[in-house]
Amino acid sequence: MNSRRDFLQLLTTSAVALPFLPLYGSSEQLAFYDQSYEGPVLRVAIMGLGSYGTRVAEAMQTCKRAKLVGVISGTPAKIKDWQSKYNIPEKNCYNYENYDSVKDNPDIDAIYVITPNGLHHQAVLRIAAAGKHAICEKPMAINAQEGQEMVDACNKANVKLLVGYRMHFEPNTLEIIRMRNEGELGKIMFFQGLSGFKIGDPTQWRLDKELAGGGAMMDIGIYSINGARYMVGEEPIWVTAQETKTDPIKFKEGVDETIQFQLGFPSGAVASCLSTYSMNHLDRFFLNGDKGFAELQPSTGYGPIKGRTHKGELMKPHITHQTVQMDQMAGIISAGEKAVVPVDGAEGVKDLKIIDAIYEVCKTGGKKKLDL
C-alpha cells in the first residue's frame, strides 16, 4: 500500500439553504441525483492530475452544481489525456508557470489544488491574486502560519477558500453529529480515533519532509484530529503526544512514523488518537457518552462508511464522497450556503494549529495549551 489514496478506497448545508440535500443525510440525497437541475454551476479547474485529482474528476462527472472545465499540470501528456477524456478546451489548460493568467479567463470560477502539501501555500496565494476561488486539499498547508496567510490572501482578494474535508458531508457522520446535538448520546465523555496504514514506496513525496511537511500526521493523522473536533463538538484546549519511530531510514528526521496524541476539551471530554504509517487496518472512530455510543468503521475511507450506535446500525445511503463534496462546495461558493461542519480556511488553520502543537510536544514532552 503506497498512499492514503490507495488506503481510502451526502449533506451538509442548512435545510433552508439546500432543501434538496437535507441537513443530516437521508434517502432524499439519492433522489436529488435522479432529478434535473437548472441552477448555477461552479466551473472548476483541477490543479494536480495525480491519483486523487483523477478521483475527483471522475466524481465530478455526476455532479449537478459543479463542472470540471480546466486543468493545471506540469505534465503535458496528462493535460492532453484529460482534454480528450473530459472535453476540456485548450484555452482552459495551464502549466505551473503560466496559470496566473487564469485571471483573464472568465470560464473558470474556482481552482481545486490537489498537489503535495508543501505546494499548497504558494498555489493558493497565486489563485487568490488571480481573483479565483480556491479549494485546497487537506492539510491546507504545512503549518498554521502558512495556512493563515492563505486565509488572509483570499479574504483580501474577496474570494472563498475551502478545504477538501469530504467527511463533513458524509451522511452517517452527520447522523452521529445530529444524535449528539439532540442529546441522544448524553454528555460526551470520550473519543477514540485510529488512522493509519502501512506505507510503501520510500521514495514517494509523502515521505519527503519538504513536500509533505511531515509524515503520517500530515497525511492520514489529520483525519483523527479533525474527527475528534467534529465528533466531540468542541474545540480542544490542551494536547499531549508521544512519537514512536522504528525505521529511521525510511522515516527520516522530520518525517513521523507513528504518533499517539491526546486532546482535552472544555467539557472534560478527552480524545485518544493514533496516527501511523506502519500499521494497517486502522480506520475507526468511537464516541462515548453517558447515555450511548457511536462507532464508525471504516470511518474515513472512500466508502461506504459503516457505523453503529447504541440504537443499532447506521444505514444512510452512500454516494461518492467527492461528488457530494463538490456539489455542496458549489453551493457554499455560489449561493453562500453553510455547512453543518465548516469546510472553510479557518477550519483548516485550526487543524494545523493542533498539528504544530503535536509536533512540539513530541519533542518537549508535557502538555500544551491550545487556543483555536
Both 56 and 155 in a single domain? yes
Tell me the backbone φ, ψ of residue 155, rounded to 5 degrees.
Answer: -65, -45
Question: Percent of the chain, pLDDT > 70?
Answer: 92
List, for residues 325-361, the tens digit of each pLDDT value: 999 999 999 999 999 999 999 999 999 999 999 999 9
Pick the catalytic residue from 138, 160, 316, 353. Answer: 138
For every residue of 10-37, DSSP letters joined together read: ---S-TTT-TTS-SS--HHHHHHTTS--
Q: Give the HSE-up count for residue 337: Cα atoms under 13 Å, Cβ half-sphere.
A: 28
* Cα 247 from Cα 250, distance rounded (Å): 6
Both 262 and 204 in a single domain? yes
Residues 6+ apart with CB under 8 A from 321: 10, 59, 166, 167, 169, 170, 302, 303
Both 105 and 146 in a single domain? yes
Both 224 and 303 in a single domain? yes
Both 159 and 256 in a single domain? no
Query: For position 14, what pLDDT does the model report?
Result: 30
- Of 128, 151, 166, which one is at a domain's C-terminal end? 166
- Of 109, 139, 166, which one is at a domain's C-terminal end? 166
List, for residues 124-177, the tens digit of each pLDDT value: 999 999 999 999 999 999 999 999 999 999 999 999 999 999 999 999 999 999
Annotated active-site residue 338? The verdict is no
Burial class (CB in 10 A: 0-12, 13-18, 19+), 365: exposed
Both 65 and 129 in a single domain? yes
Q: Please name which of 213, 166, 46, 212 lies closest in space to residue 113, comparing C-alpha atoms.
A: 46
Q: What is the mean pLDDT of the chain?
A: 93
> Given CA atoms 138, 144, 146, 152 in this order, what sign does their dihedral have?
positive
Both 128 and 229 in a single domain? no
- Of 166, 196, 213, which one is at a domain's C-terminal end? 166
Residues present in the chain in total? 372
Higher local confidence (pLDDT), 49 or 19: 49
Reported as a pLDDT band with limits 50, 70 and 90, residue 5 is low
Both 122 and 191 in a single domain? no
DSSP E strands in the chain: the ranges are 42-47, 66-72, 93-94, 110-113, 133-136, 161-163, 188-196, 238-244, 258-264, 270-276, 282-289, 293-296, 307-309, 312-314, 368-369
List, for residues 176-231, the tens digit of each pLDDT value: 999 999 999 999 999 999 999 999 999 999 999 999 999 999 999 999 999 999 99
Both 162 and 176 in a single domain? no
Query: For position 20, what pLDDT does the model report?
Result: 40
Query: For position 35, what pLDDT does the model report?
Result: 86
Reported as a pLDDT band with limits 50, 70 and 90, residue 119 is very high
DSSP E strands in 152-281: the ranges are 161-163, 188-196, 238-244, 258-264, 270-276
Interval 255-267 mean pLDDT: 98
CATH number at residue 182: 3.30.360.10
Residue 335 lies in a domain: no
* Cα 89 from Cα 76, distance rounded (Å): 14
Reported as a pLDDT band with limits 50, 70 and 90, residue 34 is confident
Query: For position 19, what pLDDT does the model report?
Result: 34
Pick the catalytic residue from 94, 112, 223, 277. Answer: 223
Annotated active-site residue 138? The verdict is yes
Both 162 and 173 in a single domain? no
List, for residues 59-99, the tens digit of each pLDDT value: 999 999 999 999 999 999 999 999 999 999 999 999 999 99
Q: Which domain holds residue 355?
A: 169-316+343-369
pLDDT over 70 at 28, yes or no: no
pTM of the predicted model as reported, rounded to 2 decimal places = 0.93
Reported as a pLDDT band with limits 50, 70 and 90, residue 123 is very high
